[in-house]
Structure 1
Amino acid sequence: MLKKITPLILTYNEAPNIERTLQRLIWANKIIVIDSYSTDATLEILYSYPQIEVFQKKFDSFASQCNYGLGKISSEWVLSLDADYILTDELIDEINALQAETDINSYSVRFKYCVFGKPLRGTLLPPRKVLYKPEKAIYQDDGHAHRVVVEGNSTILSAYIHHDDRKPLSRWLWAQERYTLLEVKKILETPVTELSLGDRIRKQKILAPLIILIYCLILKGGILDGWHGCYYAFQRVLVEIMLAIRLIEAEKLE
């Protein structure tokens, strides 16, 4: 099955991450990378792998970048990855054992969030469709994130991807600044009846940070992961506080 798959990766200044991601993709005959004009060592790392084809496109949205990337895929299957997704040995073996001729058009994978390389017991990351037939798929923006819609049957694999982002805190804060603005727009412009339970709680502003702290440390077992679990919980609480402040600001400026 692996020979029928082309990995697709989006990059922008991913030098702290991309090497570890690529090392788990040495089985691929071709890797497509859509780069948003990186200014760090990302391109140098990418060009050191002969099977990688790099296409540069100015970033406008994640969905637009991904759909552009799908247009570069000629294989039967695409494996869509972020630049900080690390395939586990178990997942590679599971994918390789899949039957290429099947009525399944997409496979979802669960994640283990890593803090400085250590996988945590729990995460807020939901399963994501990462392996699918490109001609059946299209990406849509969803707040700060994006999701792929794939026609036909889907199932979930049993092994995990490690989400292991090692970019510095300053870059993380820069990203959250952008993400919270998009999330505020989504929350305020979507009718309440169409919002998820999580977004309804966020719209109340005060409760979300407290709920996330309890959820990450207690319900997801983060406290058992020591300082790694606390670090993750504090990250998520900070994001919710930033989002709450942005919501207050947006409502007062209306």
Structure 2
Amino acid sequence: MDLTTITPLILTYNEEPNIDRTLSKLTWAKEVIIIDSFSTDKTLEIVKNYENVTVFQRTFDSHSNQWNYGLNQINSEWILSMDADYIINEQLLAEINHLAQNSLVDGYFIPFKYCVFGKPLNQTILPPRQCLFRKNKAIYIDDGHTQLLKNDGKISQIKSYIYHDDRKSLSRWLWAQDRYMILEVEKILKTPVNQLSLGDKIRKKIILAPFIVFFYCLILKGGILDGWHGWYYAFQRMFAEILLSLRLIEAKYFNQE
């Protein structure tokens, strides 16, 4: 696949700790599109250092609307959708470059290596994401706190990793998780039980999910072998599930009032 047919698309809001590392790995792209939600830190100052970047600003209302607005700003055949803490490496670029140009495939799932303070963990619970896709086949829809890409074409898998390396502060992470879990609670409570995933069915029980996630990350996924980086990740994921449980209890209590 010709890399010049691919436009990276990034959403930003106060990504000063991350955006420079991300953009430094995208200098191969003819154009990078950023949809910024009116950042108040130095994100846009950093972005100005990259001549291949075009910035559009839009007030954030939902992830799907923000991503779909970004899709409409792109003219290339292929899109590489990225968070502002994704790091593209040479191995991934080489694999993409060797994909068949005229393939019938319309989208590719790419796996992740999650990093804690810059150290890649051996295994995590972060699933592959359909990051590379043909523009004319795709649209984003909301799914809890995040979004899903709906692609009507044929989907395949890439073996090489994207590094997920978020360097924002713990305070910012806590702020974001609370916003995410409010949306996750709304999704879980509004979705019929028979349509929930196994994970969301367990979460709806409130008590078990935090302990299951902690054990899964630390033992079954081998986080303990990553030292304190693995413990940190396990505690992060457990805390997120505890926050979700608290929000579920809160929603249940207020619904009884």
User: For 1:179 and 1:215, how far apart are their aligned partners in 2?
Assistant: 21
Rounded Cα–Cα distance in structure 2 between residues aligned with 1:209 and 1:185: 19
Unaligned segments of structure 2, at least 5 residues: none
Distance of 2:113 and 2:49 partners within structure 1 = 28
Q: Output aligned runs, 1:5-154, within 5 Å.
A: 5-154=6-155
Give the C-alpha shift of residue 99 in structure 1.
Answer: 1.9
Q: What is aligned with 1:185?
A: 186
Residue ranges of structure 1 left out of the alignment (5+ in a row): none
CA-CA distance at 1:97 after TM superposition: 1.3
* Aligned-residue offset at 1:100: 1.7
C-alpha separation in 1, matches of 2:232 and 2:128:
22
Other structure's SS at 1:131 match:
strand
- String of CA shifts for 1:36-77, please: whole Å, max 9, x gaps: 000000001111111111000000011101000000110111
Task: Kindly report which structure 2 residues correspond to 1:212-231, keeping only aligned pairs within 5 A, or say none.
Answer: 212-231=213-232
RMSD across aligned positions (CA)? 0.6
Corresponding residue number in structure 2 for 1:203: 204
Q: Give 1:3 deviation, angstroms.
A: 1.0
User: Residue type of the partner of 2:245?
Assistant: A
What amino acid is the match of 1:177? D
1:185-226 superposed Cα distances (whole Å, 9 cap, x missing partner): 111111111110000000111100110011000100000000
- The one-letter amino acid of 1:165's match is D
Q: Which amino acid in the other structure matches residue 100 of structure 1?
A: Q
Spell out, residue by residue over 1:3-52, the C-alpha distance to the aligned partner (whole angstroms, 9 max, x if none).
11110000000010011111110100100000000000000111111111
Residue type at the aligned position of 2:178: E
User: Quick one: distance in 2 between partners of 1:66 and 1:242?
Assistant: 27
For 1:14 and 1:124, the matched residues in 2 are separated by 23
- Report the 3-state secondary structure (helix = DSSP H, G, I; strand = E; otherwise coil) of the residue aligned with 2:160: strand
Equivalent position amino acid for 1:23 in 2:
S
Partner of 2:238: 237
Distance (Å, rounded) in 1 between the aligned partners of 2:4 and 2:147:
27
- What are the Cα deviations for residues 134-165 of structure 1, in whole angstroms up to 9, with x where unaligned? 11100001000101111111100010001000
User: What TM-score, normalized by structure 2, do the two folds share?
Assistant: 0.98
Which residue in the other structure is 1:156 paired with?
157
TM-score normalized with structure 1 length: 0.99
Distance 1:151 1:246 in 2: 35
Aligned to 1:2: 3
Rounded to whole Å, the distance in 1 between the matches of 2:244 and 2:178 is 9
- Give, in whole Å, the separation in 1 of the partners of 2:105 and 2:156: 7
User: Residues of 2 paired with 1:189 and 1:153: CA distance?
Assistant: 30
CA distance in 2, matches of 1:200, 1:170: 29
Residue 124 of structure 1 deviates from its aligned partner by 1.0
Say which SS state the counterpart of residue 253 (structure 1) adopts.
helix
Number of aligned residue pairs: give it. Answer: 254
Determine what percentage of the aligned residue pairs are the same residue. 60
